[in-house]
């Protein structure tokens, strides 16, 4: 690969400290626990149970009238 000439020249200090940017490293963090069911799915299941219970109540009421 041919070297690309830069329009900037590297300048190193003759005395004192040479500073450099920190190299990013991996940082371990706590694992995030995800729910097995989403909140929306839980709401939908609750609505379905309530609807089934209401239908069952209506059917019981109809059987009692007969």
pLDDT value of position 24: 81
Confidence (pTM)? 0.43
pLDDT by residue for the chain (66 residues), tens digit each?
Answer: 456 667 778 777 777 776 667 778 888 888 888 878 888 999 999 999 999 999 999 999 988 876
pLDDT at 51: 96
- Residues 30-57 as b or e (16 or more Cβ within 10 Å = b): eeeeeeeeeeeeeeeeeeeeeeeeeeee
């Amino acid at each position: 690969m041919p070297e690309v000439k830069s329009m900037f020249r590297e300048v190193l200090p003759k005395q004192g400290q040479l500073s450099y940017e920190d190299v990013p490293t991996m940082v371990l963090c706590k694992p995030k626990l995800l729910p097995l069911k989403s909140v929306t799915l839980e709401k939908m299941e609750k609505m379905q149970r309530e609807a089934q219970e209401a239908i069952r109540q209506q059917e019981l009421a109809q059987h009692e009238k007969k």
